[in-house]
Chain A
Amino acid sequence: MTDVIDRPVNLDSDDQGPVNPDHGHDHGHDHHGPSGLVKWMTSTDHKVIGISYTVTSLTMMIIGGAFAEIIRAQLVSPTSTLVSFAQYNELFTMHGSVMIYLFVGPFAFAGLANYLVPLQIGAPDMAFPRLNLLSYWLYLSGSLVMLSGFLTSGGAANFGWVGYAPLSNVTASPGSGADLWIVALMLTGFSAIFSGVNLVATIFYLRAPGMTLFRMPIFTWNMLITGILILLAFPILTGGLVMLYCDRHFGTHIFTVSGGGVPLLWQHIFWFWGHPEVYILALPMFGMVTEVFAVFSKKPIFGYRGMVFATISIGALSLGVWAHHMFTTGAVLLPFFSAMSLLIAVPTGIKMFNWIGTMWGGKVTYSTSMLMAMGFLFTFLVGGITGIYLASPPIDFFTHDTYFVVAHFHSVVMALVLGAMSAIFLWFPKMSGIMLNERLGKFQFWFLFIGTQVFTFPMYLVGLKGMPRRMAVYPNNPSWQSLNQWASVGALLIGISMVFFIVNALYSFKKRVPAGDNPWDAQTLEWYTSSPPPAHNFVSLPPIHSERPTWDYNHPDHLSLGHGDKEKAKAGS
């Protein structure tokens, strides 16, 4: 049966009578729907799909993390023989691919976003629930196809996660592992596009009355801009992959010089997807930590509109920076891309300022979630500042393809991991109805945070000393070796932090400390409904008069005022 969903009622109105979740249309069968495996395979509920996405992407994080640990173990000694050169190439390719395509992206724009966006805007589901489910299954099948490269006789793809032409052509990279990588990305690419469509349509058409665009939580705003960027970027990548496949198998010469093609075209296409992709990964985490800072500082978000316009600016500018990855090709317009890349630091700086402003003067609670968000702030600052160095062509010429670049983007993505963990600790009670253990969480935080710094700082230094990336062995230079060993220690600490996370999840499910609807006294609409929310999310809705309706409902004495209302309130008093 199709469900016809009525708007939830206003709890405060007298004429609605008793609130009954089953009133009106036939909702009852939802509660007797399939469970277990069948539910996972067939449920079009955004909450189930969101959890499926989250669990699958975290599993991918563990797999990609295991690849990373092997890579770091190999680099402990300059002439290690733990893995062969060929295996090493496969490992760093699949580490990058799994982490970017299969973990951070799906976690950010499809996992928590699927779960939270409808809840935050008071919607019963995503706009296209079956498309949403298709999106998940395309993602999972794409992941399996990519990983199955390891089972082929030639091994998995081994040309780096960027798949540069001509290295990715059929002469340099024969074998089905490379083809599996290409076709897997076509599947996950469509999955991402469908998620983007769903996000934008949901946010435009399914908001609750009174939930104007400028009252949406920052997380939802960021998901809207992310959705638009997905719609722009992913079709270009998928198109590029089709061209690459045609070059490999149908005899076209789009990226091969011999037939009149241009290898550099692949870099243009790849990075025209790749740089917006960085923001597709980062904006959701920005949104998540914004909510965390506001909740654990017991304050409204500082500079709400500034945050929104910063997000829009990042989205707008992110299309003009792609060739800063290609400075050393000598074939791109350096001043344009350098200026645009430096410009994008301005809205990011505004966000940094506003996050600190949110904490400033607030009643800060140092919960695990808040610590993770603060760890995000520091680590992202390091990654962001080194990004500004790299936006300057003279520095980029010097450090391109060294470990300095590797360290830069690992600072950025490890910041995103800290942001993701912060979000998990904040929203896990909403998703499951039980609390995660704080003590284990804090152990996890310290291992993760210190591990990240111990991991990245030596890589910056060894990069400045000139160590190139993607090498299985390196010259026997004592200072290079000790820096690499420190980086490996950091990687090990990060690995241990993930063990704490898994233990914490298992322990919490066994212990089952009930969370209640709003354990953090949080502000946005998802905390108004029960934990976990019922089928179609809301039995009733509070009046929405600001960007934090749940707070207003729970604290009528401390209403948050809309813009312009402050002056009115002052004039009135």
Chain B
Amino acid sequence: MATVEARHISKHFDEVRAVDGIDLLAREGEFLVLLGPSGCGKTTLMRLIAGLEQPTAGDIVIDGRVVTDLPPRARNVAMVFQSYALYPHLTVAKNISFPLRAVGMQRDAIRKKVEWAARMFGIERFLDRKPRQLSGGERQRVALARAVVREPVVFLLDEPLSNLDAKLRNSARDELKQFQRVLATTTIYVTHDQAEAMGLGDRIAVLNQGKVIQIGTPQEIYGKPMDTFVATFIGSPPMNLVEEGASYVGFRPEAFLPREVGSSEDSVAFPFRVTRVEYLGADRLVYGVLEGRTAEAHVISKLPNNIRAEVVAGERYDFVVRKREIHRFDRNSGRHIDGRGDDDGNR
């Protein structure tokens, strides 16, 4: 258990600033998710923490100790790779015991530890098999067991669920969260999947172009996006943004409802011409244009199935949004302007 801190860390590959002066603190025992589009620098940041990359500037601090100049093996971190990176020529038992043999642990102690880790992930049956004889889900468990076995101070997980099929991914996500709770080891988890990030993270750091844009709990990230990037990156479909003078007006599709269901004293009305309705089972997505505006304002409404109001393509309706669900962003900087989405000092 330890804190992990990035102090103004940068990594440039020639001209590309993969990581551009990031300050970040993962608290003790915290599950911190690094979320961002591909190429945002999240994996590079994780590799910097692991010691697999040397920073161009800045420091990595683990448990209060500056480890920037230490090789990966001296940092006592464990990493699970997207490809799992199991050693293909070694049995599952040898794969799991590799980190222990590397530190020269006694054979008896190794055996006990391997059994403990294998039992934890339910892979005792596979100990004598080679990785190629395992399914994707089993390989992922072996990779986790290998990471857990030497009880590192930090777990680094690089999209460990992205090679699993959708059904397995849900149960694996659930298990992962439980293991982390039990072990209470500080965990940094990289993903581009917002559902994973929202479901797993104690806090989420949203990255874009090598910078941390916002860091906060899933509720804060979703409810108070700091700028238009976070607003449109999180949420599916993303937040609607409509030009209005020197600012953007933003509202979530699920907050944009027909007048008869959404109306209250503090709601704002928008005349809405529907162009297309998509039926998705649990909800309907209503695509359309806001009328009476200079620029074409395409917006989406997400209506859960319990809202039965009739919405037909080609018709014009009055839709409303509650005032407290409306966000305003500066048109130039993209930053939130009415104070509520401001930095809460949790960066």
Genuine A/B complex: no
